[in-house]
Chain A
Amino acid sequence: MNLQVAIREKRFGAVPVLRDLVFQVAHGEVLAVLGPSGVGKSTLLRIVAGLDTGFDGQIRRAGRLAMVFQEPTLMPWRNALDNLRLTTGVDACEGEAALARVGLAGKGALYPGQLSLGQQRRLSLARAYAAKPDILLLDEPFVSLDAALVDDMLALTESVITEQRPATVFVTHAQAEADRLATRQLVLGSVAAA
């Protein structure tokens, strides 16, 4: 198993957010995490990513991690190619190949500010692709995009996952996106106070 999650409880102050959550994600599997806003989807992903360690439970990750954030989260002071190279350690050749993989061939010298939002999202996906991850975390990466761009990005993400087969956790609030990408679905509900 690439990813094993066992969360007994996660609280924000006195408010419980997650409780008794146990799942595993294997190589090539895509687990979609659904649920209404504020239910703790992104918190779960932060815990899985190791960004939030203030919880009761255990996370086991095997292999390299990559994440596509809600915002593109790029370094605006480095060009597109350097955004890939400096974060994933790939060389210029591999970086260019990753850019080409997401339709950004020849745009390596451009800064994120010179790219459209759609291109920035592609660059963010290219970064995850270049990292060749064993575990891929997607935190609502298609939110606030128009329908055509969502479809385009979904196809691209689907092909990247098919190609590299990481254990993927995909947080979304859109059932259609989950149906298209996921092999399993986890629906989070609100946690009652103990």
Chain B
Amino acid sequence: MTRLALSGKSRMVARRGTPMAPRTLPDLMVRGLSLSGLLVFWWALAWLKADPMVLPGPWTVLPRLGAEAVSGALWHHLGATLWRVAQAFVAAMSLGLVLGVLMGLLPKLNRWLDPWLVFFLNLPALVVIVLCFLWIGLNETAAIVAVAINKIPLVTAMMREGARALNGQLADMAQVFDMSRMGRLRHILLPQLAPHLAATARSGLSLIWKIVLVVEFLGRGQGVGFKIHLHFQMFDVTMVMVYALSFIVVMLAIEALILQPLEARARHWRGA
């Protein structure tokens, strides 16, 4: 009987000759372990600092979070912030998508609007928020408009790149075969823009909720930003962390349950 030395790769072959896939952990488990690591890191830092006034540990924050949830206050303020995020997100994505695609497809329009885009991209978020509150008033409309204005230029810039990368041959094919406008939009344009839309939505959501918090911090009477402002004035770091953490959890859930599945659906044909 002859024995052959096996390379590392050869050892990955099962007895019947079928290749064995390398063992990898499921994405969900990796995500859970990674976040657990972050929790342990926070725990260790709080333990080392040993001053709950400056850095409360999970053992201090989590019971307060539970109490806030049971009282109903947490849900009320989370809901208010989430509603503002949703409105600003829809407004910014819709307007940014249309503007970006038009600027990407129409070079003449792009020549005229590009300086505006650069101007608004470089306008500090805080300036827009303050001006909206001054011009429109300390109300809900001003809050949503301020957030949307901050985000629209970024969506426009990203969608413009998506529109510039559109496949001209497919557009020609659609024209020759006389596809309807709706057919072209649904089967030619949107599938090509989908990866850009998904990337813009993910980056947009994370940016929008941060700006919403600033808006609430400066001029609203409810929402996570308002609560953070309130507890900041009382130097209650634990409650600041309660509200910040709870909203991060909501955003992680939206990312995992809505945005990632949507993105996977848009890209499913690549893996086919």
- Residues on A lying within 8 angstroms of B by beta carbon are 46, 49-51, 64-67, 69, 71, 73, 75-78, 86-88, 110-111, 113-114, 127, 131, 137
Residues on A with beta carbons closer than 8 Å to the beta carbon of B188: 75
User: What are 13 A-B interface contacts by the 8 Å CB criterion?
Assistant: A49-B175, A50-B176, A51-B172, A65-B178, A66-B176, A67-B177, A69-B169, A71-B169, A73-B170, A75-B191, A77-B191, A86-B183, A137-B176
Tell whether A73 pairs with B169 under 8 Å between CB atoms, given A113-B272, A114-B272.
yes
Q: Which residues of A have CB within 8 Å of B170?
A: 73, 75
Nearest chain B residue, comparing its CB with the CB of A112? B269
- Are A65 and B176 in contact, with the CB atoms below 8 A? yes
How close is B184's CB to chain A, nearest CB, in angstroms? 10
Please name the residue on chain B nearest to A67 by beta carbon.
Answer: B176
- Taking CB atoms, residues of chain A closer than 8 Å to B174 are 87
- How many of B's residues come within 8 Å of A, CB to CB? 17
Q: How far is the CA of A173 from the CA of B194 in the complex (A)?
A: 38
Q: Which residues of B contact A49 (CB under 8 A)?
A: 172, 175-176
Report Cα–Cα, A127/B272, bound state, in Å: 21
Considering the complex of A and B, which 7 residue pairs feature the smallest CB-CB distances, nearest first? A77-B191, A77-B269, A111-B272, A87-B177, A67-B176, A73-B173, A73-B169
Q: Which residue of B lies closest to A127 (CB)?
A: B177
Q: A77-B269, A111-B272 are contacts. A87–B172 as well, Cβ < 8 Å?
A: no
The distance in angstroms between the C-alpha atoms of A127 and B183, with both chains bound, is 16
Contacts of A73 in B (CB 8 A): 169-170, 172-173
Q: Restricting to B95-153, which residues have a CB under 8 Å from any CB of A?
A: none
Task: For the complex, give the distance between the alpha carbons of A131 and B178 in Å.
Answer: 10
Shortest CB distance B263–A (Å): 14
* A86 and B169 contact, CB distance less than 8 A: no
Q: Complex: how many Å from CA A51 to CA B168?
A: 11
From known contacts A51-B172, A67-B173, A87-B173, infer whether A76 and B269 are also in contact, taking CB-CB under 8 Å: yes
Tell me, yes or no, whether B50 is within 8 Å of chain A by CB: no
| A67 to B177 Cα, complex, angstroms | 8
Is B179 engaged at the interface, CB distance under 8 Å to the other chain? yes
Residue of A46, A77, A88, A137 contacting most chain B CB atoms (<10 Å): A77
Q: Indicate whether B187 reaches chain A with its CB closer than 8 angstroms.
A: yes
Q: Are A69 and B175 in contact (CB under 8 A)?
A: no
Shortest Cβ gap from A167 to chain B (Å): 15
A66 and B177 contact, Cβ closer than 8 Å, known pairs A78-B187, A111-B269, A113-B272: yes
Given known contacts A69-B169, A75-B187, A51 and B177 CB-to-CB distance under 8 angstroms: no
In the assembled complex, which residues on chain A have CB atoms less than 8 Å from the CB atom of B172? 46, 49, 51, 69, 73
Most buried by A among B173, B174, B183, B272: B173
Q: Bound complex: CA of A137 vs CA of B178, how far in Å?
A: 14
Chain B hits for A111, CB < 8 A = 269, 272
Q: Give min CB distance, A88 to chain B, whole Å.
A: 6
**B177-209 contact mask (Cβ, 8 Å, vs A): 1 or 0:** 111000100011001000000000000000000
Q: Contact check, B269 vs A113: say whether CB atoms are below 8 A apart.
A: yes
B191, closest chain A residue (CB): A77
A-chain residues with CB within 8 Å of residue B173 when the two chains form the complex: 67, 69, 73, 87
